Structure 1
């Protein structure tokens, strides 16, 4: 683990039994209060994608928006929002999915992406993979291609990154936490 990864991991808070018993929640919000950690995370992702052929950054509600907006700005790419159902105006499509502790749905505006677009899909964390898989389904329904799914944190024991990769979508995460 590099110094940057160690530092960022030291800033992330682990909350036991939240939002329900048995879940360890990896809280990335302290990163936003720590300019050094925020710069380290942003720079790591910017460096990874600066020479890529992606055409759009899609980010997932809500913490994914914060990192995704920085990436889109720094890479001079359009930002596409994947939101919780009922939060976007205009014509949308939605996809339901299962979380590690419940069910939900995400949606996108129908003019967010189109055929030929090459999308980087970004979220703060990959757990069971349900949110990212639902977002991938929406992006594909709109005709675009997901080039990679990226996240700040992967929880490999929950198999989400494996499920995403089984669909032929590469996965990249800056940090991983074993044992959930």
Structure 2
């Protein structure tokens, strides 16, 4: 049986979709300093990796949301993965824009779902959950049920747990920040000091950023 958590974490590292630099932090668009940078859009250019991800996400749908009748991609990075998962499972697929179109019928959801549908939404990354929960709201406004949310990767930030709980929404990542660190630890790539710094960031990214901004 495939250990998707470990294999996907290793694959993301191999193609440099995820980079760890605890001693030379990245600066995110928000201005926060971070020891990790993630660009899961790179996965679409690697057939073996995208197939691994599609099969892993499809397994999660079957295990956790067997009632699902449609797969939804969260714009923009979740769309191709949702399409591949929908193909694996032979289910209808829709995608959810970040906001309604400002012309025509003003649709936010492209494709066809009804009030009878139970939708699994797919995104590439869960940070705090803000963008994907906006898509959850859009699907619910259409009258459809959201069975749950899946992602390729999750930072496992406490804020995400809080936000998903507040939205009464289940979510499951295919792989996680902890799995990523385990893979790197097993490979002997990170020192104990580096691992401690990376764990501290996950618990409080803002405080970590402030400490590393000088």
The reply on whether 1:65 has 2:66 as its aligned counterpart is no
Equivalent residue, structure 2, for 1:44:
56
* TM-score normalised by L of structure 2: 0.67
Equivalent residue, structure 2, for 1:7:
10
Gap runs ≥5 in structure 1: 94-106
What is the CA deviation profile of residues 118-142 of structure 1, one whole-angstrom value per residue up to 9, with x for unaligned ones?
A: 0101111111211121111111111
* TM-score normalised by L of structure 1: 0.78
Aligned residue runs from structure 1 range 107-126, under 5 A? 107-108=108-109, 112-126=112-126
The 1:23–1:141 alpha-carbon spacing in structure 2 relative to 1, beyond 3 Å, is farther
The 1:48–1:88 alpha-carbon spacing in structure 2 relative to 1, beyond 3 Å, is farther
The reply on whether 1:143 has 2:143 as its aligned counterpart is yes
Q: CA shift at 1:3, angstroms?
A: 4.2
Alignment check: 8 A CA contact 2:100 2:106 kept: no
Of 21, 29, 37, which residue of structure 1 is paired with 2:31?
A: 21
Aligned residue runs from structure 1 range 88-167, under 5 A? 90-92=104-106, 107-108=108-109, 112-157=112-157, 159-167=159-167
SS at match of 2:157: helix
SS at match of 1:92: coil
Alignment check: 8 A CA contact 1:88 1:108 kept: no
Equivalent residue, structure 1, for 2:194:
none
Q: How big is the alpha-carbon RMSD for the aligned residues of Structure 1 and Structure 2?
A: 2.6
- Cα distance in structure 2, aligned partners of 1:148 and 1:37: 23
Q: CA shift at 1:23, angstroms?
A: 5.1
What is the CA deviation profile of residues 42-96 of structure 1, one whole-angstrom value per residue up to 9, with x for unaligned ones?
A: 1111222246120111111111001001011111111111113365864235xxx
The 1:65–1:170 alpha-carbon spacing in structure 2 relative to 1, beyond 3 Å, is same
- Cα distance in structure 2, aligned partners of 1:3 and 1:141: 36
The 1:125–1:161 alpha-carbon spacing in structure 2 relative to 1, beyond 3 Å, is farther
Alignment check: 8 A CA contact 1:8 1:41 kept: no
Aligned length: 166
SS at match of 2:143: coil
SS at match of 1:143: coil
Q: CA shift at 1:148, angstroms?
A: 0.8
